[in-house]
Amino acid sequence: MRTLPHFINGEEVNLSDEKHAQIFCPNTGTVQAQVPLGTHATLESAVAAAREAQMAWAATNPQRRARVMFNFKALVEANKDRLAKLLSSEHGKVFSDAQGDIQRGLEVIEFACGIPHALKGEYTEGAGPGIDVYSMRQPLGVVAGITPFNFPAMIPMWMFGVAIACGNAFILKPSERDPSVPVELAKLMIEAGLPPGLLNVVHGDKEIVGCILDHPDIKAVSFVGSSDIAHAVYERGARAGKRVQAMGGAKNHGIIMPDADLNQVVKDLVGAAFGSAGERCMALPVVVPVGEDTANALREKLIAAMKQIVVAPSDDPKADYGPVVTAQHKARISHYIDLAIKEGAELVYDGSKHTIPGNTDGYFIGPTFFDKVTASMQSYQEEIFGPVLQMVRANSFNEALQLASEHQYGNGVAIYTRNGHAAREFARRVNVGMVGINVPIPVPVAYHTFGGWKRSSFGDTNQHGMEGVKFWTKVKTITQRWPDGTDNDNNAFDIPTMG
Ligand code: NAD
């Protein structure tokens, strides 16, 4: 059986004394490879390699660092189909969606190609007599990223693209469920000209995550995953004195105003609710039509559209979406479907028994749709992360706004309307971090920034864009005075002022 290596100091590393976890094929339910579960010793060798390489990299001029990113972009593009196929085989998302996962990551690499501009700093000439003030952004040193299963290419690239371009050395701990593509990306970075030791991939579970969070030489940790773990990671890393950003779960609402174009809504909603089997933190698993007429019309159109959805193995070109990632995740989604039924939601369209002849052990769940869901239901309050759409009917704009604003998660939200004033008010007032106006999955472009609010994010800086640059650097401010010999009127015992 194929055993995935760690990737440390520019080389594949297999250590004999580690335990392993299985990597499944979600289409068939069979084991296709195994991944080592790294220990403290694994991390130590990665940290040593990173420490050794980082200072020279920080001293390399930013334009040269950017050139590695340009080379890497070209290499990933040349290998895109191979990577997408590998990604799809472990995650279960269809090939075209796997290509999108890689492409969205590459867009952050494109942003990182412009790092000389982002690191220019600020300068004030003449802040006082003979005094100039300037600031510079310097790398933190050795930093780390811990990533979830659902975007095994994009999220690692969000993190290491910006961190390495800023002059840091990076240790990536990818999800143990689909860890192959991150190793391939690290190899391509070396091929692109990155010196060994600056991007290391260590595999493992919570044991190695704990070692990362406690390690005194790791100065910052970026985490993306589920909220309870994100919160625990945030607390433990902060206690160890690190800079931590920890993105968590989501339950994004789509508000449908009575004047919305329902045909467009349905087209967008089926993709946003069921695409990638609902395993996106920016999926739209909750739809909130405003008014009974809107709800009834939307319900009928949705049912008709759902009948057209093709659920099939991820390598079937006809598939709209494939299996979910693991048997455990399928069981978790089924649990929520049962719970919603018990809580009294109306099961309008049941995909829970969906099977595929020839692939009966694959982790498939058909599209599932509940109406008459209420805010007090546990199945509404918690993240399901599967192809399950819940409709909560609202009587007014304010009621819909309140639902999204009061939910424990605040990652993304969308409003569909033709009324500019309603859209503007919604965007201004809603208590959520990323807003779409007639856009179902408002994932911001790479040169803006990604991050939710409330229990969707702990820590205070977002991913990529200038927020990412801020996270991966520390600012130093220099006040310099070159006196001409005549301005000695300050009392040296008082705090200097510019008065
Ligand atoms: P997860 O929380 O199970 O795992 C995320 C990472 O944490 C993995 O690398 C895993 O190995 C590690 N981990 C698992 N258990 C741990 C523990 N007890 N202690 C420390 N580390 C642990 O998440 P997942 O199932 O891989 O990914 C899906 C989740 O990620 C969903 O909740 C989704 O909403 C969220 N997500 C959020 C965003 C965002 O930007 N907010 C983006 C993508 C995914």
Ligand 1: residue whose CA is nearest its atom 10? 175
Q: Evaluate: CB of 180 within 6 angstroms of ligand 1.
A: no
Q: Evaluate: CB of 247 within 6 angstroms of ligand 1.
A: yes
What is the Cβ-side half-sphere exposure of residue 467, based on CA atoms within 13 angstroms? 17
pTM: 0.97
List the catalytic residues.
281
Condensed to tens digits (0 to 9), the pLDDT of residues 46-101 reads 999 999 999 999 999 999 999 999 999 999 999 999 999 999 999 999 999 999 99
- Chain mean pLDDT for the chain: 96
Condensed to tens digits (0 to 9), the pLDDT of residues 318-365 reads 999 999 999 999 999 999 999 999 999 999 999 999 989 888 999 999
- Going by C-alpha positions, the residue among 498, 499, 497, 473 that lies closest to residue 166 is 473
- Residue 38 tokens read as 């790294």
Ligand 1: residue whose CA is nearest its atom 33? 249
| Atom number, ligand 1, closest to the C-alpha of residue 205 | 11
- Ligand 1 pocket test, pick from 42, 150, 159 with the greatest ligand atom count within 8 Å of Cβ, gives 150
372: alpha, beta or left, given left = phi > 0 and alpha = psi -120 to 50?
left
* Dist CA 388 CA 392 (whole Å): 13
List where CATH 3.40.309.10 sits in the chain: 253-437
- Which homologous superfamily is 2-248+456-478 in? Aldehyde Dehydrogenase; Chain A, domain 1 (3.40.605.10)
Q: Evaluate: CB of 411 within 6 angstroms of ligand 1.
A: yes
Q: Provide the pLDDT for residue 495.
A: 82
253-437 classified as CATH 3.40.309.10: yes
Condensed to tens digits (0 to 9), the pLDDT of residues 285-328 reads 999 999 999 999 999 999 999 999 999 999 999 999 999 999 99
The one-character DSSP state at 14 is: -
Please say if the pLDDT value at position 490 is more than 70.
no
- Ligand 1 pocket test, pick from 24, 157, 215, 229 with the greatest ligand atom count within 8 Å of Cβ, gives 229
Helices 206-214 and 227-239, interaxial angle, to 10°? 30
Q: Provide the strand spans (E) within 215-371.
A: 218-224, 243-247, 253-256, 286-289, 346-349, 368-371
Q: Evaluate: CB of 462 within 6 angstroms of ligand 1.
A: no
Ligand 1: residue whose CA is nearest its atom 24? 148
- Residue 29 tokens read as 């339910």
Ligand 1: residue whose CA is nearest its atom 13? 206
| 441 alpha carbon – ligand 1 mean position (Å) | 20
> Are 153 and 80 contacting, i.e. CB atoms less than 8 angstroms apart?
no
List where CATH 3.40.605.10 sits in the chain: 2-248+456-478
174: alpha, beta or left, given left = phi > 0 and alpha = psi -120 to 50?
beta
Q: Evaluate: CB of 37 within 6 angstroms of ligand 1.
A: no
| Atom number, ligand 1, closest to the C-alpha of residue 281 | 34
